[in-house]
Homo-oligomer: A and B are copies of this chain.
């Protein structure tokens, strides 16, 4: 991978594809099957889970968690400590205390379209789509799709005039 800068304290899978000019900072995990485009900046302490796709020129801030099933477009900003979830009914065990297996849950990944921005500490619920150049205010809990160019914030997040 040309001109890719991986910090010595990062943990990037050899089975990840990372575009030219992208930097990955320390204590950040990029798992197998991840694709990250060109010119991105992936901050410290972040988690990019298996199979996640991130476009070009994105900024992912410190402590962000992007879970399996997420598709992130081009020019997206993902703030610090943000979580893109994928499991509407998380649970470690079934009611009889048997461990849940990969067959016991339905994954619903998050989609973030080109140019969108997600403020610090927000959570995007499973299956939600954040529209193009949409803005999610800091500390939001986003339970529904966000239209292109809309501004949402709050818990639960609602559309507001800017």
Interface residues of A (CB under 8 A from B): 9, 11, 26-27, 29, 39, 44-45, 47, 57-59, 61-63, 65, 67, 74-77, 79-81, 83, 85, 89-93, 95, 97, 99, 114-115, 117, 119-123, 125, 133, 135, 137-141, 153-156
CB distance from A78 to the nearest CB of B (A): 9
Contact of A83 with B81 in the complex, beta carbons under 8 Å = yes
**Cβ–Cβ < 8 Å partners of A76 in chain B:** 92
In the complex with contacts A91-B77, A92-B77, A29-B57 CB distance below 8 A: no
In the complex with contacts A29-B44, A47-B80, A91-B77, A123-B99 CB distance below 8 A: no
Contact of A99 with B39 in the complex, beta carbons under 8 Å = yes
- Would you give 17 A-B contacts (Cβ < 8 Å), ordered by A? A11-B26, A26-B29, A45-B45, A47-B80, A59-B92, A61-B65, A75-B91, A75-B97, A80-B83, A83-B121, A85-B119, A90-B119, A91-B117, A92-B117, A95-B133, A141-B153, A154-B156
Secondary structure of the A contact surface, majority rule: loop
**Cα(A57)–Cα(B99), bound, Å:** 7
Contact of B83 with A97 in the complex, beta carbons under 8 Å = no
CB distance from A64 to the nearest CB of B (A): 9
Enumerate the 7 nearest inter-chain pairs by beta-carbon distance, A residue then B residue, closest first: A75-B93, A139-B141, A83-B120, A77-B92, A59-B92, A123-B139, A123-B138
In the complex with contacts A47-B45, A81-B65, A85-B120, A115-B139 CB distance below 8 A: no
